[in-house]
């Protein structure tokens, strides 16, 4: 196969397109600034955003470096089994969030995930979660900066320091002016940029390879083209058997991320009604089903098109699978659009983390423990200060990530520490009335301790795994189990909260919500059924 695009390296048109994008991003922030009157406006967009916008923002808040570079890198390394992150992991979790958990989140009128834990359990549980979440978001947000700087260094030879500081300055400008709304609007903008910037790669690549069958025929290892066929044992490219896949990825990691991570939940809380909040993850699920076409497929194409991909040099590491395809396939002009799309995804991934961080910091740490009973204006000011602080820490963590060999390993490691045990806390908290405040607290402590212990023991018998990914999946499973068991055990010996305090927080004690008559297609269960059916079909198609 021969691919010829005789385009020059980056030219004036590409810089012009990147420049226009910057102008728009900052312009949107500036335009929204005068609407940010109260802290509620700044942190929760005043609960005024329609569900199609929150849905797209829900999707693109996590469409940062992780998804765009990480999934392509994973696909180049592990084959189409990477699509399990979508069709086994994300989609079922998003449906579960919409149908079963959103009524408690939105219905209890909490402003953040830690605040829910306070209402359902107690202050210490909330404090533990707020602090670990704040640490996690800034650790994550640095990944985006680092990945962006890496791409622009290798493709355009920009200085890494300059890219890190320039991108951080732009994100600072628009989040500090427009808060969550600004972040959400730019996420929606970025969503379309990713589609229009990356879709031609998939189309051109597939035509060139002779469709999916043609591409499959070119894999050196035919197992790279199957989702489940080789998952009976761990002898597949991912080194993970179906048990670890379903428990680690399908259940703990995905549900932990999509159902408890405030970064994504916050987008749904900005919706205008409970039904709109429930629709948010469902509307996001439809494009999410198709996203492997933009992330996994290019990774598979890169594997076939870029000789030597996956060797140990930075220039040809799996992480570079997608960025390397851009100059191969795009002439100057489209190259600018592709680069802008990547830039946008890194910036919005970072902005998502920063806006979640400033909310949790201001409401759950600052207002709760450091400065109670200040004016709303003061908290709005603190939100802006936390935004700036969060960005400065992100810059620091960007340099920290540089010390890790793989972006994806770094991320899954952090998720297995914080999100995996938290999901057990939520599951028990929302669906088991007997779960007690101290049960939740010690369960969380046990889960995090178990993840850290497992991380330190990985590589020593019996914790030896065929791939880093397999280690991550098992670590998540163990951390979840530890939290689940300890929460139940401690709960049985401690005093539960009185029933009257659990109203609207636990399954079986919902707050009365007036049903709004809506057309059948807008009803959450109907949307959920369609999403699930489509996902099952895809699992069978790529069996």
3-state SS string for 146-202: HHHHHHHHHHHCCCHHHHHHHHHHHHHHHHHHHHHHHHHHHHHHHHHHHHHHHHHHH
Judged by beta carbon, residue 7 or residue 287, the one nearer another protein is 7
CA atoms of 464 and 476, how far apart (whole Å) = 15
Tell me which of 7, 287, 453, 496 binds another protein, using CB under 8 A. 7
CB nearer to another protein: pick between 33 and 378: 33
Candidates 130, 188, 343, 427: give the one binding another protein (CB under 8 A): 188
Phi and psi of 486, rounded to 5°?
Answer: -65, -40
Q: Scanning residues 164 to 183, which ones bind another protein (CB under 8 A)? A: 181
What does DSSP assign to residue 239? -
Q: Which two tokens stand for residue 525?
A: 């269960």
> CB of residue 27 vs another protein: minimum separation in angstroms?
7
Locate tokens 């922030």: which residue? 29
Q: Rounding to the nearest 10 degrees, give the CA dihedral for residues 360, 407, 79, 210.
A: 100
Are 135 and 419 contacting, i.e. CB atoms less than 8 angstroms apart? no
φ, ψ (nearest 5 deg) of residue 49: -95, 130
Chain positions 298 to 337 lying near another protein, rule: CB under 8 A, are 329-334, 337
- Pick the binder of another protein from 91, 209, 305, 411 (CB under 8 A): 209
Q: How far is the CB of 244 from another protein (least distance, A)?
A: 38
Candidate list 108, 208, 273, 467; residue touching another protein; CB under 8 A: 208
Smallest distance from another protein to CB 369, Å: 31
**Smallest distance from the beta carbon of 347 to another protein, in angstroms?**
14
- Closest listed residue to residue 362, CA positions, set 382, 390, 376: 382
Q: Which residues ranging from 30 to 49 are in contact with another protein (CB under 8 A)? A: 31-32, 34-35, 37, 48-49
Name the one range near another protein by CB under 8 A: 28-36, 255-263, 296-304, 318-326.
28-36
Q: How far is the CB of 215 from another protein (least distance, A)?
A: 11
* Piece of 188-196, 289-297, 310-318, 422-430 that binds another protein (CB under 8 A): 188-196
Residues 6+ apart with CB under 8 A from 213: none
Report the residue number, 21 or 78, with the smaller CB distance to another protein.
21
- Our CB check for another protein shows the closer of 95 and 329 to be 329
Q: What minimum distance in Å lies between the beta carbon of 446 and another protein? A: 43
Q: Give ∠ CA 278-283-285 in degrees, rounded to 5.
A: 105
Tokens 């579960």 map to which residue? 96
Determine, following the binding rule CB under 8 A, whether residue 16 of this chain makes contact with another protein: yes
* 27 touching another protein, by CB under 8 A: yes
Applying CB under 8 A, which of residues 15, 192, 369, 543 lies at the interface with another protein?
Answer: 192
CA dihedral 147, 71, 138, 183 (to 10 degrees): 90
Q: By CB under 8 A, tell whether 273 contacts another protein.
A: no
Candidate ranges 6-14, 349-357, 424-432, 470-478; the one touching another protein (CB under 8 A): 6-14
Nearest distance from C-beta of residue 105 to another protein, angstroms: 23
CA angle 87, 63, 251 (to 5 degrees): 35
Is 200 an interacting residue with respect to another protein (CB under 8 A)? yes
Question: At closest approach, how far in Å is the CB of 19 from another protein?
Answer: 11
Nearer to another protein, 17 or 481 (CB): 17
Residue 30: HSE in the Cβ half-sphere, 13 Å Cα cutoff: 7
SS3 38: coil
Tell me the torsion sign for CA atoms 194, 197, 203, 209.
negative
Site string for another protein, 412-451 (x = CB under 8 A): ----------------------------------------
Taking the C-alpha atoms of residue 477 and residue 64, their distance in angstroms, rounded to an integer, is 25
| Stretch near another protein under the rule CB under 8 A, chosen from 147-155, 196-204, 438-446, 524-532 | 196-204
Kindly state the tokens that stand for 115. 């605040």
Q: x/- string (CB under 8 A) for another protein, residues 46-85? A: --xx---x--------------------------------
The candidate with the shortest Cα–Cα distance to 94, out of 259, 298, 314, 335, is 259
Q: Around 335, how many Cα atoms within 13 Å sit in the side-chain half-sphere?
A: 23
Close Cβ partners of 438 (under 8 Å, ≥ 6 residues apart): 122, 490, 491, 494
Report in angstroms how near the CB of residue 12 gets to another protein at its nearest. 9
Phi, psi (5° rounding) for residue 271? -70, 165
Distance CA 6, CA 490 (A): 67
CB nearer to another protein: pick between 190 and 487: 190
- Least distance (Å) between residue 461 CB and another protein: 50
Token pair 């979840």: residue: 480
Nearest to 72 by CA among 202, 251, 212: 202
Q: Is 189 in the site for another protein (CB under 8 A)?
A: yes
Q: Looking at beta carbons only, is 38 or 159 nearer to another protein?
A: 38
Of 335-354, binders to another protein (CB under 8 A) are 337
- Strand, helix or coil for residue 346: helix
Q: Which is nearer to another protein, 203 or 235 (CB)?
A: 203
Q: Could you tell me which stretch among 21-29, 73-81, 243-251, 462-470 binds another protein (CB under 8 A)? A: 21-29
**Cα distance between residue 269 and residue 107, in whole Å:** 10
For position 6 contacting another protein by CB under 8 A, the verdict is yes
Of 166, 173, 204, 385, the one binding another protein by CB under 8 A: 204
Query: Site for another protein (CB under 8 A): how many residues?
Result: 43
Residues in contact with another protein by the rule CB under 8 A: 1-7, 13, 16-17, 20-21, 24, 27-28, 31-32, 34-35, 37, 48-49, 53, 181, 185, 188-189, 192, 196, 200, 204, 207-210, 214, 329-334, 337
């Amino acid at each position: 196969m021969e691919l010829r695009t005789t385009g020059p390296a980056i030219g004036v048109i590409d810089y012009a397109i990147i420049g226009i994008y910057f102008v728009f991003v900052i312009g949107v922030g500036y335009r929204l600034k005068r609407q940010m009157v109260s802290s509620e406006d700044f942190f929760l967009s005043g609960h005024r955003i329609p569900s199609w916008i929150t849905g797209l923002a829900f999707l693109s808040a996590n469409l940062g470096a992780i998804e765009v570079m990480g999934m392509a890198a994973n696909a180049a390394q592990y084959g189409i089994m990477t699509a399990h992150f979508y069709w086994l992991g994300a989609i079922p979790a998003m449906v579960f969030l919409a149908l079963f958990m959103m009524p408690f989140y939105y219905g209890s009128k909490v402003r953040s995930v830690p605040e829910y834990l306070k209402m359902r359990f107690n202050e210490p549980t909330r404090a533990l979660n707020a602090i670990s979440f704040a640490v996690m978001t800034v650790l994550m947000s640095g990944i985006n900066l680092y990945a962006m700087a890496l791409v622009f260094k290798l493709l355009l030879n920009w200085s890494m320091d300059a890219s890190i500081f320039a991108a951080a300055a732009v994100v600072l400008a628009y989040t500090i002016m427009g808060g969550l709304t600004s972040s959400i609007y730019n996420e929606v903008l970025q969503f379309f940029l990713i589609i229009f910037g990356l879709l031609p790669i998939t189309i051109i690549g597939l035509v060139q390879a002779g469709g999916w069958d043609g591409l499959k025929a070119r894999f050196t290892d035919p197992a790279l083209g199957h989702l489940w066929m080789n998952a009976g044992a761990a002898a597949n490219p991912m080194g993970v058997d179906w048990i670890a896949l379903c428990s680690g990825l399908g259940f703990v990691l995905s549900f932990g991320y999509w159902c408890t991570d405030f970064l994504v939940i916050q987008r749904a809380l900005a919706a205008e009604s409970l039904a709109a909040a429930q629709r948010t993850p469902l509307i996001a699920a439809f494009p999410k089903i198709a996203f492997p076409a933009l992330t996994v497929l290019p990774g598979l194409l890169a594997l076939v098109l870029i000789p030597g991909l996956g060797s140990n040099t930075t220039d040809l590491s799996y992480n570079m699978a997608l960025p390397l395809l851009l100059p191969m396939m795009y002439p100057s002009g489209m190259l600018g659009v592709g680069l802008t799309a990547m830039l946008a995804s890194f910036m919005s991934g970072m902005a998502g983390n920063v806006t979640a961080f400033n909310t949790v910091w201001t409401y759950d740490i600052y207002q709760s423990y450091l400065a109670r009973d200040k004016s709303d204006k003061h908290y709005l000011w603190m939100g802006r200060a936390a935004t700036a602080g969060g960005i400065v820490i992100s810059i620091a963590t960007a340099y920290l990530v540089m010390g890790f060999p793989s972006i994806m390993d770094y991320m899954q490691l952090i998720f297995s520490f914080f999100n995996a045990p938290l999901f057990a806390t939520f599951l028990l908290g929302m669906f088991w009335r007997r779960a007690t405040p101290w049960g939740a607290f010690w369960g969380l402590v046990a889960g995090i301790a178990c993840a850290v212990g497992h991380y330190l023991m990985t590589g020593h018998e019996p914790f030896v795994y065929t791939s880093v990914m397999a280690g991550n999946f098992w670590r998540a499973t163990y951390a979840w189990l530890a939290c689940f068991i300890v929460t139940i055990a401690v709960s049985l010996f401690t005093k539960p909260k009185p029933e009257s305090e659990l109203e609207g927080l636990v399954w079986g004690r919902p707050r009365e919500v007036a049903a709004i008559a809506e057309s059948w297609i807008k009803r959450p269960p109907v949307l959920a059924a369609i999403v699930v059916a489509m996902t099952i079909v895809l699992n069978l198609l790529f069996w």
